[in-house]
A and B are shown apart, each in its own frame.
Chain A
Amino acid sequence: MANDLPFIDPTRGGSKTQLARAPRPMDLAGMTVGLLDNTKEQADIILETIGTALREKYGVAEVIMRRKGYYSRPAPAELINDMANKVQVAIAAVGG
């Protein structure tokens, strides 16, 4: 127990509070899908392919693609907020 230690233990992250996952729909028919391109190589081709396939085979109504300024950097809150107002599901590519 931490209270038994004769010194301070500054360790973090032991029991990270888990967030609630967004509830999932039954399917994607009629939905607007957001695609977030982090500008890393191949991300655009991957996301265009996904967008086309989702429209053609899964009944997705609309695809909104957004490109970040730099890869390796988290998307600004404004960009996420803007997409979250317009889409029902989102896919980000390409990680790394």
Chain B
Amino acid sequence: MCSVHDTVEFEKRGIPATMVLTGVFKNAAIHQFRVRGLDGHPFVELPHPISNLTPAEMREVTLRYIDEIVRNLTT
């Protein structure tokens, strides 16, 4: 998926990067990171689906994952 490509491109430029996706794409992301040379790269998996969440619900779900995002970007 494009976000895997973009994350890899940032990493290649020395910029720590991560991405957010929904659960149904988790397996695809794992394999795409592997074939692009960043095997095991961490990303954040939101519960699927999200397309039917209201904006308030989407914010609330996202806030549960901020710590994990920060962990992916720091030592």
Contacts and interface: CB of A to CB of B under 8 A. Distances in A.
User: So, do A and B actually touch in the complex, CB under 8 Å?
Assistant: yes
Contacts, number: 160
Given A17-B37, A50-B66, A75 B9 contact: yes
A41 B74 contact: no
A92 B55 contact: no
B58 A45 contact: yes
B69 A72 contact: no
B22 A95 contact: yes
B39 A16 contact: yes
Nearest to B17: A90
Given A13-B35, A38-B2, A96-B1, A46 B58 contact: yes
Interface of A: 13, 16-19, 21-28, 34, 36, 38, 41-42, 45-46, 49-50, 53-54, 57-58, 68, 71-75, 77, 80-81, 83-84, 87-96
